[in-house]
Amino acid sequence: MGVGVRHSLVHGSAMRLVINAVGLVMGGAKTHLGQFLPALVTARPDWEVHVFVSESADPPSVGDVVFHRVERGGAKRLLWDARGVARAAVDLDADVIVNLANYGPIGCRVPSILYQRNALYFDRRWISRMGLRWRSAAWVRRMLAFVEMRSAAVVIVPSVAMREFLLDWSWCPRNSRVEVVPHGIDSDQLAFKPAPVSGMLRLVALGHGAPHKNQEMLIRVVDVLVRSGLDVVLEASIADDDDPEYVSMLRGLIRRSGLQRRIRLVGRVAAPEFLSTGGIAVSCSITESFGFPVAEAMAAGLPIVSSAIPAAVELLGGNGLVFDPDSVSSAVAAIREIVGMGDAERGEMLCRARARVEAFTWEENVRQVVGVIEGVIGV
């Protein structure tokens, strides 16, 4: 028996899994749990699954999965990840812990699998833009993550880009096993409806409001397009409570630019509904570890214009146009190139994009994660 084999293989009972999802509260991270759990239960219906979530979470109802609520926020969250989840796993006599939200136990009798999915604290390009106070806090989080990586049996990342962000730091533990397991998307819920780009140009930006999403650049792009005579509107799935200070800044910039009739912040909306009316998907992010908005637009048949960050370039595989995230003119040129494409050329690109992203299913994601789990416990 391999190291870490506990009650299941010894006593012949069902494998008992603890999932630490206390930090999954926003954006693609929040989406992850609702898609991952049903696929996991389908793949391993005999497993006993316990999921720890934030006290304010609205977890999905999935089979016999048992949910436990944990108070989160600040030091309490850090203490939970470092020590609390390990104690809970021991109390439950669990076989393994899967930490879905970037942090996990420091030392644990139960084998721990740790996700690293937040590029903010590891991408030097983003870090270099931030002030000293933020960089100092990021240093602490990064060092904590590296300590927790040393305690993990396996570290899972959603892209080669994220793995490279980690390895770019000399303090990253070189003996950590890092596995690339792309996230899944539900392509079946995203109807593939490529449409001609004509008449009023609709730009869509899927994703919550946050500084690293660089959505102020979107406003400047629309301003340039409108001033050049193009009839264009932008709809962005940004809610006021995503990051209140940042979203307030965006609204002020929209007013000062006189674009209130051109730009709508529509709040949190489901991707299938938001993308179903077509347009050009635009992402100005400065850093990402995967890029759900890009993947979902690929599935829905929207042409994509994205900042040329490593995760987006990796995901697109050449089936979209990219631009310098520091250059409004570069983004405008990319949008104009999409508009100027012939329908046949654009259609071929969209079909290739859909075919590429169809490989990113939650079933495939779970198959790979289950393989990691079973490898850790020696099955």
Residues paired with residue 155 on neighbouring β-strands, in sequence order: 114, 178
Q: Check pLDDT > 50 for residue 5.
A: no
Residue 2 lies in a domain: no
Where residue 349 sits, what CATH number does that domain have?
3.40.50.2000
Q: Does residue 178 share a domain with residue 243? A: no
What local confidence, expressed as pLDDT, does residue 11 receive? 41
Residue 1 lies in a domain: no
What local confidence, expressed as pLDDT, does residue 249 receive? 98
Q: Does residue 286 share a domain with residue 155? A: no
**Separation of alpha carbons 3 and 163, rounded Å:** 26
Structural domains of the chain, count: 2
Q: Check pLDDT > 60 for residue 195.
A: yes
The 10 Å Cβ neighbour count of residue 313 is 16
**Separation of alpha carbons 94 and 85, rounded Å:** 11
Contact 71, 57 (CB under 8 A): no
Model confidence at 7, pLDDT cuts 50, 70, 90, reads: very low
**3-class secondary structure per residue, 50-95:** EEEEECCCCCCCCCCCEEEEECCCHHHHHHHHHHHHHHHHHHCCCC
What local confidence, expressed as pLDDT, does residue 74 receive? 65
DSSP H stretches of helix in the chain: 7-11, 27-43, 74-79, 85-91, 124-127, 132-151, 160-167, 215-227, 244-256, 271-275, 292-300, 310-316, 328-340, 343-357, 362-377
Q: Does residue 22 share a domain with residue 128? A: yes
Model confidence at 102, pLDDT cuts 50, 70, 90, reads: confident
Q: Of 76-80, 217-221, 333-337, 370-374, where does mean pLDDT reach its minimum? A: 76-80
Contact 339, 201 (CB under 8 A): yes
Model confidence at 376, pLDDT cuts 50, 70, 90, reads: very high
Look up residue 321 and give its two tokens. Answer: 């146009």
> pLDDT by residue (tens digit) across 51-94?
999 887 777 788 889 999 987 666 777 788 888 899 999 999 99
What local confidence, expressed as pLDDT, does residue 25 receive? 64
Q: Check pLDDT > 80 for residue 26.
A: no
- pTM of the full structure: 0.91
13 sits in the region (left: phi over 0; alpha: psi -120 to 50; else beta) called beta
Model confidence at 2, pLDDT cuts 50, 70, 90, reads: very low
What local confidence, expressed as pLDDT, does residue 262 receive? 97
**Separation of alpha carbons 335 and 146, rounded Å:** 40
Phi, psi of 290, deg, nearest 5: -145, -75
- Domain that includes residue 168, residue range: 7-184+361-377
User: Is the C-alpha dihedral spanning 302, 308, 312, 314 positive or negative?
Assistant: positive
Model confidence at 248, pLDDT cuts 50, 70, 90, reads: very high
What local confidence, expressed as pLDDT, does residue 34 receive? 84
CA distances from 100 to 23, 31, 51, 261 (A): 8, 12, 10, 40
What local confidence, expressed as pLDDT, does residue 29 receive? 53
Q: DSSP character for 241?
A: T
> pLDDT by residue (tens digit) across 316-329?
999 999 999 999 99
- Which one has a higher pLDDT value, 334 or 54? 334
**Separation of alpha carbons 218 and 279, rounded Å:** 15
What local confidence, expressed as pLDDT, does residue 379 receive? 73
| 159-170: average pLDDT | 97
Model confidence at 200, pLDDT cuts 50, 70, 90, reads: confident
Average pLDDT, the chain: 91
Q: Does residue 168 share a domain with residue 286? A: no
Contacts of 95 (CB under 8 A, 6+ apart): 4, 5, 6, 7, 8, 15, 16, 17, 110, 111, 377
Q: Does residue 310 share a domain with residue 166? A: no
Q: Check pLDDT > 60 for residue 290.
A: yes
Q: Check pLDDT > 60 for residue 158.
A: yes
Q: Does residue 321 share a domain with residue 215? A: yes
